[in-house]
Every structure is written in C-alpha cells, then in structure tokens.
Amino acid sequence: MNWEFSPDILAYYRRAPEHQRLQTGASQLEFARTKEIISRRIKAAPAVVIDVGGGPGAYAAWLAELGHEVHLVDPVPELVARARSLRNVRGRQIESCTQGDARALSQADQSADVALLLGPLYHIIDAGERQRALKEAYRVLTPGGLLFAAAISRFASVLDGLHRDLFADPEFGRIVQRDLDAGVHENSAEKLDYFTTAYFHRPEELHSEVTAAGFSMVSVVGIEGPGWLVADFDARWRDARRREDLLRSARVLEAEPSIRAMSAHLLAIGRRNGD
C-alpha cells in the first residue's frame, strides 16, 4: 500500500543537513542520551533491529557496530542512500537500507526483536495514522520484543524560541501558538531552522498512543532534560566533567512527570506482549 508523505517534509530533508545534526550542538545530548536509554534495555547482540525512519543511519550504524542485525527503513530516498553509503566504512555493516513507510512495512510478522521509531511519530500528523505505524511496529516484533518510539515535546518550540531569541520574529510566535493549541507545527515562515511539518506530543498523550497500539509495560522518559537549553552548551560538551553533568541531569530527571516535557524529545519504551 502506498501512503502520501508530505512534500514539505520531503523538501525539508532534501535541504537540511540531517546527516550532521546529531554531531552538532545540543543534538549531541539527544544522540548520547537516546543511545544510553536504548542500551539499558536492549538484549545482548545479536538482536534483529528494524530502524523505522532511520534517516541517514546514525543509530543503525551504532547498533550494527555493537553486533546487531539492523534493517533501516526511511521514506526519503536521499537519506536511505546516505545510510547505505555507511555500510562499508563503519566496520560491521547495516544489514539493509530500504525506502519505505512506517505505516506499511515490508518486514514479515514477528521478524524483529527491537523496533526503533525515532522519527515517524512526529512526522505523521493524523492520530489514526500514527496508530497504524505503531501497530506495524507491534506486528513485526517478536513476542517480548521492544519498541523505542521518539516524539517531540509539545513545548519544544516555545523553549527553543526563548533559548535562541526567535520571538523577535512575529511569525515564529504564531507558529508556537499553533504548536501549543493543537500540537501541529507548521513552518509558515519557510525558514529552514524553524523545522518542518510535525506533530508535538504531550508525555501522557504519547503513553496513551503506544498503549492503545497493544504495547505493555509502557514508559515515557524525557531525553535531554533541561541541559539542551544552556547558553554555553558547546563549551560544556567539550569538557568531560561538565558533559557528564549534562548527561547526569537528564538521567536523574528523565522520569519526573513534572519536568519530562522540558526535554525537546520524549522516548516511549514498550514491549510486545508474549502472545
């Protein structure tokens, strides 16, 4: 089945340097923390992992290096090509990199031990279609298999706007208000650094969606904590002690209900029932 994919989103990823994002600025904290959270729960290698919406392959390459069998799927052909180019330069190879849609995966039933959805849920605006993506992840997981599904916090834009002084642009203020009112982020200003069409979740909403798809033992944690907002992030990240302070702060606050949504990104963890 073919699904419509927003031309705005495709255009954004064809222009934005997504292959560099996780190695720059506060996104380094997102990358380190996401790997940390996954590492605490994933079983020893070799697990079969499907990385849905895996983009240019940062997480797929990391898991392949650890000895897992990783299959990357992404709707953007340019990102799939970039991920495929990593296969011969990162030691252990990503097993496969294919173009596809989170809502209609080609993988067989119960064929993966771990499913990563580290992007699809915030680029599928309709709640019913997000359910399709989550149920597809459930379908391809083995009984007891793990889901890791990322979302953008409902409050990410307002916090980012304060951090980067973006409210000097009145249009950014209008974008943020729509985010807060409806959770739908639309970049009406067409500025690349205002991101692209996306859905921004509240933590409890993400928990409900993952639970409704059939997953059990669901938890939702904040990924970055407040550290992504510090003014001198790059200097702190370069210093080993202060980098650990950023990581520790995120770690100890990740499950605190009153502060989870201060993270730019949320991560839901769920398990397929034993069927």
- pLDDT for 8 equals 87
In the chain, where are the structural domains located?
Answer: 7-153+201-271
CA–CA separation, 116 and 228 (whole Å): 23
- pLDDT for 88 equals 57
- pLDDT for 2 equals 45
- pLDDT for 239 equals 98
Name the DSSP class of 214: T
Q: What is the pLDDT along the chain (275 residues), one digit of tens a residue?
A: 445 678 888 889 988 899 999 999 999 999 999 999 999 999 787 999 999 999 999 999 999 999 999 999 999 999 999 999 886 555 678 999 999 999 999 999 999 999 999 999 999 999 999 999 999 999 999 999 999 999 999 999 999 999 999 999 999 999 999 999 999 999 998 899 999 999 999 999 999 999 999 999 999 999 999 999 999 999 999 999 999 999 999 999 999 999 999 999 999 999 999 76
The count of residues in the chain is 275
Q: How many other C-beta atoms lie within 10 A of the C-beta of residue 234?
A: 12
DSSP result, 122-190: HH--SHHHHHHHHHHHHHHEEEEEEEEEEEEETTHHHHHHHHHTGGGSHHHHHHHHHHHHHSEE--TT-
Contact 150, 266 (CB under 8 A): yes
- pLDDT for 90 equals 53
Q: State if pTM tops 0.85.
A: yes
In single-letter form, the type of residue at position 91 comes to G
- pLDDT for 45 equals 77
CA–CA separation, 89 and 115 (whole Å): 24
- pLDDT for 1 equals 40
CATH of segment(s) 7-153+201-271: 3.40.50.150
